[in-house]
Chains A and B, each alone.
Chain A
Amino acid sequence: MSDISQSGPGGAGWYDLFSRGARDWLRHNEKVREAVRKHLPQIVAGADVLTGGASTVRVPVRMLEHYRFRLRPAGEQQGVGQGDAKPGDRIGRPQHDGEHQRGQGGNEEGTIQYTLEFRIDDIVDWLWEEMQLPNLEAKAGRAREDDWTREGWDRRGARSRLDRRRSLKESIKRRGVQSATGVDPTPFTDDDLRYRQLARREQPTMQAVVVLLLDVSGSMGERERQISKTFFFWAIQGLRRQYRHLDLVFVAHTSEAWEFPEEDFFRVTGTGGTVASSGLRKVRDIIDERYSPSQYNIYLFYASDGENFPSDQPQAEVALEDLVADCNYAGFLEVAPLAGTLPDSEIGKLFLELARDADNVGAYRASGNDDIWDAVRHFFGRQGTS
């Protein structure tokens, strides 16, 4: 083989210099990434990533096509074949190159699908820059948290914290002394062993809880929920940029209210009307039980079409006022296919009323996915500048 490569222009290894195919393939992938980036908000919000279990999203992509003028698909295909076939014989479809990966139906070109992986943190950082979203001011220094740190060694301890390096040093020291006195030393004794110790240290930290309250009454359709979900996702991402620990609470309500784990939250369908006070009271209960306002920064985001029962308005007003007093911020997203960004539903009006006197309350209307960025900007911007 070696005499072959020497026959090339530059001797051995000359042809290894050519990897243009791989280079152009990398460029293709770069272009795919650029294209995918534009759709990231929808892609990301579509996945079950709110509680932060997954740190990456996998996006199925197709290879890009370099377009050329082509005729539209013919009403019938024809061609020339060769072999043992006589007129009238019926045969299967022609096989093209790359057909092993072909999608089903109407797909004339064999296309290869593959998966790109994106880190959610990167996506969020990138989007925050791109969308010029403001950072949310955190409530600092109110809560403290205890954490364990490593500190010193001891002769006793849990097996798992055995420090072998340190123990070996002790053994060598001991054997050095013992062999000087003429005793034949044993390799290890219990006295040689050293264990790492942990100490409780107070660490300044910031804790926060986000309560997501969703109206799941009959009037909230698939589309409204998708908008709510996407909004919640980005609201949470905004808070994550500020808080190391973020607890999430999911509450759904119709005329009653329930707490759910994330995976069930967006699938819940309720029947019946909207009684906002039941949801707000449920949130109150959860806060009283688990999230003391003295320890937690509390954020409430409420998504609904806002059509509350008129008879519930007084109770809802009381419950909301009570809740807002303990919240860093309370935002209401009115999901309704109407023009304008100022909510005018029953619940929307309650929030707007409060927002006049307090800067930790806001309300915004989203009629489609495109409004979500504005909503996030609206809530966070106001909070940020206050």
Chain B
Amino acid sequence: MMIEDWRSQIPNIEALARAQGLKYHPVEFEAVPDSFMSEIAIYGLPVRMPHWSFGVRYIYQLIQHRMGLSRLFEVVFPGNPGRAYLAANNSVAENVLVTAHVLGHADFSANNILFRRSQQQVGERIVEQAAAHARQIAGAIQEHGLERVEAVLDAALALEQHVDVDQDLRRPRYPELLPERPRPADDEFARRFAALGPDTERPSSSGPPKRAPVPPHPEKDLLWFIAQYAPEMEPWERDIFLMVREESFYFYPVFACQIMNEGWASYWHARLLREADFLPDAAYVDAIKCHSDVVRPTASGENVALTTNPYHLGFSIWEKIIEQHGLEQARRIMEEDDDFAFIRNHLTFELAQELKLFRFKGPPNGVLTVQEVDLHRLHDALLAPKYGFGAPTVSAAHVHVDGKLDLAHDHVTDGRGLDTERARRVLEYIARVWRRPVAITTVDSDNRPVEISVTP
């Protein structure tokens, strides 16, 4: 079969998908060279802002690729239209499978609440928007020089995960003034109390309204906070912070629904393939083989892995849900949940046993011991890397009169303190755009409070 054979199959696969109840925006398919695929994997988006840290990822990717460790079949970007990039060296059978897989993703991102909300806020054309950001930053480099733009990106990208997706993307500044305390109701009790004498009379007003402290409460969205409240940031620097933040809002659901999303797409490619009677037999067999390569728990030739394959895990959970509760219920779960709810509610003890999942622990760099089965802890260990966008819980706590910024690390939530050397380096990045001293409080290895502070 030639590549055109794959293209000619797309309408068939789409018709089948729609008949099975998948609802999605149109998807534009494109076959692209390998080099382009790896760049998408490195940058997260087909065209994204330049930064030296992507160069480091590029080299790791090259090495992994040379060693055959990673193979990318497809990348799909949600939106209207969705954009799917397929590796040009996929075989036709692989492409048939990948097409079905992409439609599963498209269905997921068009219906899942996190994805819908993110697209509502960020927009439905992330590929074009990110490219526009990249162009804007190229312009800033022209105008202000590489060094200065890089300093801003050093800080903004280091704080990439520190956003608050529960707030709006376009969020107003805090109110300038403290809200006036609501006057007590003018009821029977108040009247009798006032009648007791002149000294019980209520003051008519509590004086001039007071300025609200900034931030009024610990602020998780550091990118937003710095862009809004940095004492001397230039407008183009704020723009860069807000661009990075916008891309983070886009990335969040991809991150927070990875297991569900990959599982859903894998479930659908398997199911659509089973029912695709229009495929030639050879292509069908190749595609099934490809499916079992992707959706398998351990690398070939091994029978124990110290990681889990999100494709396999998600796929297995969805199969079980659909088997037990039916497709309609599964679609409802797909629409409403993220990985946290999905794992906690649907990775049952029996399924964990069936999948041979186990929890291990041990000293750093030491021998690991497989633990007794405990479903609750298994859930925790699976989900631990996903909390807070995978980053420590850091918030802006206070801005002093002289402009010094205090950050606070919530070590109680995170269970331990920050790596102080890295924290110092990040503060150095921030201080260059905040242009005033920046400090953070956390705890050391003995749980004693420490403050790290950096002066620009």
| Residue ranges of A at the interface with B (Cβ–Cβ < 8 Å) | 1, 3-5, 7-8, 15-16, 18-29, 31, 63-95, 97-98, 100-101, 105-106, 108, 112
Contacts and interface: CB of A to CB of B under 8 A. Distances in A.
A254 to B, nearest CB: 45
A101 B56 CA distance: 14
Contacts of A21: 38-39, 42-43, 54-55, 57-58, 61
Interface of B: 3-4, 30-33, 35-36, 38-39, 42-43, 47-48, 50-61, 63-64, 67, 69, 88, 146, 154, 157-162, 297-298, 302-309, 312, 355-373, 378, 381-382, 391-392, 394, 409, 414-420, 422-423, 425-426, 429, 445
B308 A82 contact: yes
A311 B38 CA distance: 76
Among B63, B306, B392, the one with the most A-chain Cβ atoms within 10 Å of its Cβ is: B306
A38 to B, nearest CB: 16
A91 B366 CA distance: 9
Contact of A87 (B160, B372, B414): B372
B55 A84 contact: no
Nearest to A89: B370
A19 B33 CA distance: 12
B432 to A, nearest CB: 13
Contacts of B371: 87
A165 to B, nearest CB: 48
Nearest to B307: A81
B358 A20 contact: no
A80 B361 CA distance: 9
B130 to A, nearest CB: 12
A67 B429 contact: yes
B422 A69 contact: yes
Contacts of B409: 69
A66 B52 contact: yes
A75 B309 CA distance: 26
B423 A27 contact: no
Interface SS, B side: mixed
Given A27-B52, A74-B364, A81-B308, A67 B422 contact: yes
A4 B89 CA distance: 10
A15 B35 contact: yes
A20 B39 contact: yes
Contact of B36 (A18, A28, A86, A108): A18
A124 B378 CA distance: 59
Nearest to A101: B63
B283 to A, nearest CB: 18
B417 A71 contact: yes
A30 to B, nearest CB: 8
Given A82-B297, A82-B355, A89-B369, A94 B307 contact: yes
B452 to A, nearest CB: 11
Shortest 5 CB-CB contacts between residues of A and residues of B: A21-B58, A24-B55, A25-B55, A83-B304, A66-B53
A63 B56 contact: yes
A65 to B, nearest CB: 8
Contact of B392 (A1, A69, A84, A95): A69
B342 to A, nearest CB: 15
A90 B30 CA distance: 47
Contacts of B158: 66-69
Nearest to B154: A66
A92 B370 contact: no
Nearest to A32: B52
Contacts of A90: 367-370
Contact of A20 (B50, B298, B355, B417): B50
Contacts of B154: 66
Contacts of B43: 20-21
Nearest to B370: A89
Nearest to B298: A83
Contact of B368 (A73, A77, A108): A77
13 contacts: A15-B33, A66-B51, A68-B391, A69-B422, A70-B419, A71-B419, A77-B361, A80-B382, A83-B303, A84-B304, A85-B356, A87-B370, A90-B370
B51 A24 contact: yes
B63 A112 contact: yes
B28 to A, nearest CB: 10
Contacts of B36: 15, 18
Contacts of B362: 76-78
B416 A5 contact: no
Contact of A83 (B30, B61, B305, B417): B305
Contacts of B63: 98, 101, 112
B56 A64 contact: yes
A72 B447 CA distance: 12
Nearest to B146: A27
Contacts of B157: 66
A81 B52 contact: no
Interface centre among A4, A74, A106 (most CB of B within 10 A): A4
A7 B31 contact: yes
Given A22-B58, A66-B52, A97-B60, A5 B33 contact: yes
Given A70-B392, A79-B360, A98 B31 contact: no
Contact of A78 (B39, B53, B361): B361
B55 A26 contact: yes
Nearest to B424: A67
A20 B53 CA distance: 12
A120 to B, nearest CB: 27
A63 B423 CA distance: 19
Nearest to B2: A3
Contacts of B33: 5, 15-16
A88 B368 CA distance: 9
B273 to A, nearest CB: 23
Nearest to A31: B52
Contact of A4 (B31, B297, B378, B392): B31
Contact of B365 (A63, A101, A106, A112): A106
A75 to B, nearest CB: 8
A28 B418 contact: no
A69 B99 CA distance: 38
Nearest to A88: B370
A188 B360 CA distance: 86
Contacts of A91: 304, 306, 360, 367-370
Contact of B54 (A24, A79, A86): A24
Nearest to B409: A69
A319 B45 CA distance: 75
Contacts of B303: 83-84
Nearest to B54: A24
Given A82-B356, A87-B358, A18 B35 contact: yes
A95 B60 contact: no
Given A21-B39, A112-B59, A77 B369 contact: no
Nearest to B33: A15
Contact of A8 (B32, B304, B372): B32
A8 B391 CA distance: 37
Contacts of B417: 71-72
Nearest to A83: B304
Most central of A71, A77, A86, A105 by chain B CB within 10 Å = A71
Given A66-B52, A87-B371, 8 more contacts: A21-B42, A21-B54, A69-B409, A69-B423, A70-B392, A79-B381, A87-B370, A101-B63
Contacts of A97: 60, 64, 69
Given A4-B31, A90-B368, A78 B422 contact: no
Nearest to A114: B59
